[in-house]
């Protein structure tokens, strides 16, 4: 059978839609793709998370190449984040293995952590500006050693969240970096967050492959749609007001949280 026999149009269309949103806002890949696969297509939570992680690693590798070419990545910050996220990811995957990835309890854990991660992501999108103003008034500039320790701790938190839910590397990661490195240019914040997401999602995705929670046909279908979707979204990004996009995305995420927890 050829490659195209494995492509499923509904998944490809979803990949294009989500890719377009990621191209326009820079966030929303895992936050939208994973709940979409679970709620709309009935994919098991473990398979949705595992497949989305590898999907994210491929798509963000392309973004890392572009940001690296433009020299908009702070590799020291990426290293600090990875120092926390990679070990935390490995330990979380081991815990999922011991809990048995497809057991009822683990499915409930993934759904609940997914809801918390989506809620945190939506709040980060809505309240990022006032949160930063409050933070800078109350905290100001921190000691460099403390910033290093908090960056590693942030990576560890992201490692746990992303390994269980595939959500958190975008909006939550960017918000944390803005608070920790207020003098860093925004393009470096975004570039560093995307670069860190590659090893994070790749390690987590490979771990889910080991756990047996990857659907390769689904992955191929999503990538077939998302890669051109990201290009198209990036083209239209400057034509749509960013605050409006972020509020719409946050509203969608809150609806998803309500659907996961209450219905």
Of 224, 201, 239, the closest CA to residue 64 belongs to 201
| pLDDT tens readout for residues 158-170 | 999 889 888 877 7
Which pTM was predicted? 0.80
Half-sphere exposure of 263 (CA within 13 A, CB side): 6
Mean per-residue pLDDT over the chain, rounded: 82
Of 171, 166, 261, the closest CA to residue 222 belongs to 166
Q: Where are the domains of the chain?
A: 11-17+25-262
Q: Which two tokens stand for residue 244?
A: 């409006």
Cβ(89)–Cβ(159) below 8 Å: yes
- Torsion sign across C-alpha atoms 191, 207, 259, 21: positive
| pLDDT tens readout for residues 53-90 | 988 888 788 778 877 887 888 999 999 999 999 999 99
Place of tokens 């293995």: 97
């Amino acid at each position: 059978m050829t490659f195209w026999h494995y492509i499923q149009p509904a998944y490809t269309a979803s990949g294009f839609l989500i890719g377009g949103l990621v191209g326009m806002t820079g966030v929303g890949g895992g936050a939208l793709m994973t709940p979409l696969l679970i709620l709309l297509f009935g994919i098991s939570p473990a398979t949705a998370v595992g497949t989305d992680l590898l999907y994210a690693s491929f798509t963000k590798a392309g973004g890392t190449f572009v940001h690296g070419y433009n020299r908009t990545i702070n590799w020291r910050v990426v290293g600090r984040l990875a120092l926390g996220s990679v070990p935390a990811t490995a330990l979380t995957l081991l815990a999922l293995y011991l809990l048995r990835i497809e057991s009822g309890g683990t499915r409930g854990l993934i759904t609940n952590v997914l809801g918390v991660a989506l809620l945190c992501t939506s709040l980060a999108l809505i309240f990022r500006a006032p949160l930063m103003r409050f933070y800078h008034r109350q905290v100001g500039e921190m000691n460099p050693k403390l910033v290093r320790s908090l960056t590693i701790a942030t990576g560890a938190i992201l490692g746990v969240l992303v390994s269980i839910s595939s959500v958190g590397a975008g909006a939550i990661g960017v918000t944390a970096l803005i608070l920790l490195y207020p003098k860093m240019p925004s393009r470096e914040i975004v570039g560093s967050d995307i670069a860190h997401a590659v090893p994070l999602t790749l390690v987590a995705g490979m771990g889910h492959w080991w756990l047996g929670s990857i659907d390769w046909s689904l992955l191929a279908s999503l990538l077939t749609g998302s890669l051109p979707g990201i290009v198209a979204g990036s083209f239209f990004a400057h034509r749509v007001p960013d605050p409006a996009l972020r509020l719409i995305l946050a509203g969608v995420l809150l609806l998803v949280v309500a659907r996961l927890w209450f219905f």
